[in-house]
Amino acid sequence: MTRVLTAADVDAASVRLHGIVERTPLQLNVRLSALTGADVWVKREDLQPVRSYKLRGAYNRIAQLTDEERAAGVVCASAGNHGQGVAFACQRLGINGRIFVPSTTPRQKRDRMVAIGGDAVELVVSGDTYDEAAAAATAHAAKTGAVIVHAFDHPQTIAGQGTVSAEIVEALGKAPDVLVLPVGGGGLLSGVVTWFSERHPQTRIVGVEPAGAASLTAALAAGGPVDLERLDTFVDGAAVRRIGDAPYRVIAPAGIEVVTVPEGAICTEMLDMYQTDGIIAEPAGALATAALRSAVRVKPGQTVVAMVSGGNNDVSRYSEIVERSLVYEGRKHYFLVNFPQEPGALRRFLDEVLGPDDDITLFEYVKRSNRELGPALVGIELGDPAELPNLMARLDASPMTVEAIDPDGPFYRFLI
C-alpha cells in the first residue's frame, strides 16, 4: 500500500503556511497538571484567526490548486470550523467558494464563515448532519466542476493539519512523552501521526473521540471505515459518521491508542476551562483535555500535550452544557412523580423526601380533577452526588409512585 504522505510533506506545508497561520502558544495548564501529576501543556489552536486548527488544512489544500482549478472555484462541507478555514483561504487567495453546512451548525459558526469569507463565499444550509451536507457538496461539484476541499480526507489537508507537530516540539524544546488529540474525521490525527512516527516515534499519541460519534473506534473494530448507525451531533466539530479513508490508512497501521469520552464529561471540562483556565472552548475543543480526567492515564512527571482544537462556541449553548455536566456528575436527576391530589402533598414531599442541600430545579404539575393522583415532572439537583441512594430510599418509602427518567432515553433528550 502506498503511503498517504510523509513527514516531508508536512514540513513543506509548514513552509507554505508561514505567515498565514498563527504559531499558537503552548501553555502550561496548572489545573490539569495538578489533576494528573504530569506537566500538562495545552496547544491553543483556538487562538487561530478562525479559532480552529482547520485553517491549516484548508489553506494548504487551496493554495496548491492550479490556475484552472482556481477559476472553477471550490466547494466544501463543514460543521463550522473547516468552513471558516475555507472562507479565510478563499478571501485571501481571491477564489470563489461555496460552503455547505448542516442545520445543526451553531449560528455563531455560520455567521463567522460569512464574515470571514465576505463576497468570496456563499453559505448553504443542507441536511441535518455533516454527512448530508457533504453529499450536497459532492453533488454541487459534479454539476459545476468546482474543486472539493475536503475537511479531512485528502493528503494536502492532512499535511496542513499535521503542521502543529513541529510547533509543539519547537515550543517545548523536546518531543512530549504523551500527545493527546481530538478525532473527528481523522485529518489532524493522521497528519500528526505521520510526522511524529518519522521524527519522534517514542512519543505516545492518543486519539480522543466523543462517545456518540466514535467513527474511528468503529472503523478499527471493523477493519475499515464504516458508517455509524447512530450519531450524536452535540460535539458538532467532531460528529462525523464515517472516518476518512485516507486518515484511516495512516492511523490503522500505526497502532495508536484511541479512547472515547462521554458528552457529559466534555461539558464538565468545558466549564472548568472557562471558569478556571479562562479558555472558551467548543465541545470538540475540550475533547483532548477532557480525556485527561479519566480516559487517558499518564505518569507523574511526564510531559503531556493536549490540543485545544477550537473555540467557536455559541454562548446560547451554555445552558445545555451546564445541564449535561450536572447529569454526568450525578447532581441532576429527573423523576415522574404521582402526587395524591390532596392538600399538603407537595409540602410532605419537600419535608420528607428532599434532602437539606437538595434543590428542585423543575416542577411541572398537571392537575386532574377526576383522578386521585396528579402526575408531576420533577427535576432535583443534589448538593452531593453521593446522596443519591439516600434520596432514592426516601422516594421508595414515600406514598408516591415514582419513576426515574433514564438520561439515555428519548424522554430525557426531550428535556434538554
So which residues are the catalytic ones?
A: 54, 309
Cα(112)–Cα(312) distance, integer angstroms: 9
Cα(127)–Cα(103) distance, integer angstroms: 6
**Sequence-separated (6 or more) residues with CB below 8 Å from residue 363:** 376, 377, 378, 379
State the number of CA atoms in the 13 A half-sphere of 326 facing the CB.
19
Cα(348)–Cα(362) distance, integer angstroms: 17
The residues with which 98 forms a beta bridge, in sequence order, are 75, 122
State the number of CA atoms in the 13 A half-sphere of 210 facing the CB.
28
Cα(18)–Cα(63) distance, integer angstroms: 12
User: For residues 231 and 212, is the Cβ–Cβ distance under 8 A?
Assistant: yes
Cell of 135: 453529499
State the number of CA atoms in the 13 A half-sphere of 55 facing the CB.
31
Cα(303)–Cα(255) distance, integer angstroms: 21
The residues with which 27 forms a beta bridge, in sequence order, are 42
